[in-house]
Amino acid sequence: MSWRPWVLTSTVLIAMVLNLFLLLKERMPTVDQGPDVIKIEERLRHLQYLKEQRRTNFSEMGMDTEMAHAAATYIDNRYARHRERLIGLLEEHAGEVGGAFCPSADLPQPYAAAEFLVYEENQRRDVFAPEKLLTLESQAWFAGSPVESVYNTLEVTESRKNEATVMGVSALLLGRENDVLEGRAPWSQNLLGSWGFSRLKKDSPSIEILAIQYFALMHYLTELANTRDGICS
């Protein structure tokens, strides 16, 4: 009697069983095993634009306590008296300004609102005074400005600094967007660089009041736009 067929059959069966065992033990890749994806939390998208949140929001945007208080007070002293007219402007131009003052996937309000609240004259940018804000229309400088790149550079990063927003918006107000993108002082974020609003105030003393005016007007209009009867409702 030949044992050869039995040996061959046994060998094949053992190989099949072994392959099945290895297949069952094999760890199949899962979604969690893919490349790590770091999701950056865009902090400005979580703010609530309410009167009682003004100082908290300004602090979140990088202002110190004194500056946040000044901006919140500026709303009451300069803009609140124009409430009804500002509401009328928002309603009149709702189709154009909704993306700037309402929650959306576009730029957050501190950056987006500059399109309508900051004008350029003789190569200098300024914030509309409430009594001179007769319409809400897109300003020409905004279309040619790398606003989104400034936002991404300072805000959408793991190493976002506390003063990111006030520094980013100040760059827009001063027309110094390229200084941000090229990492020039005081927007230099490397270890040996120079960064910070206190340094910026030394270079450009006018920026503090300009920033207070802008952030106050931006916040107040966003508040009005997001009320129960506002254009964002």
pLDDT tens per residue, range 30-58: 445 445 556 778 899 999 999 999 999 99
pLDDT at 3 over 60: no
| Nearest of 200, 136, 117 to residue 166 by alpha carbon | 200
Express as a percent the part of the chain with pLDDT over 90: 78
pLDDT at 121 over 90: yes
Q: What's the confidence (pLDDT) of residue 11? A: 53
- If DSSP codes are grouped into helix, strand and coil, which group holds residue 27? coil
Whole-number CA gyration radius for the chain: 28
Average pLDDT (5-29) is 50
Average pLDDT (197-210) is 96
Residue 47: count of CB within 10 angstroms of its CB = 19
Q: What's the confidence (pLDDT) of residue 6? A: 46
The whole-angstrom separation of Cα 179 and Cα 194 is 12
Amino acid symbol at 75: I
Q: What's the confidence (pLDDT) of residue 189? A: 82
- Domain borders along the chain are 43-225
- C-alpha dihedral, 64 to 66 to 70 to 76, nearest 10°: 100
The whole-angstrom separation of Cα 4 and Cα 184 is 82
Q: Is 223 left (phi over 0), alpha (psi -120 to 50) or beta?
A: alpha
pLDDT tens per residue, range 80-120: 999 999 999 999 999 999 999 999 999 999 999 999 999 99
Where residue 7 falls among pLDDT bands split at 50, 70, 90? very low
pLDDT at 23 over 60: no
The CA distances from residue 181 to 99, 145, 175, in Å, are 25, 12, 12
Average pLDDT (48-70) is 98
Average pLDDT (124-143) is 96
Average pLDDT (145-161) is 96
pLDDT tens per residue, range 168-196: 999 999 999 999 999 999 999 876 668 99
- If DSSP codes are grouped into helix, strand and coil, which group holds residue 210? helix
The whole-angstrom separation of Cα 54 and Cα 73 is 9
- If DSSP codes are grouped into helix, strand and coil, which group holds residue 186? coil
Residues, the chain: 233
Quote helix, strand, coil % in the chain, to nearest 5.
60, 5, 35
Q: What's the confidence (pLDDT) of residue 14? A: 55
**Burial of 172 from C-beta contacts in 10 A (0-12 / 13-18 / 19+):** buried
pLDDT at 138 over 50: yes
The pTM score is: 0.83
Where residue 19 falls among pLDDT bands split at 50, 70, 90? low
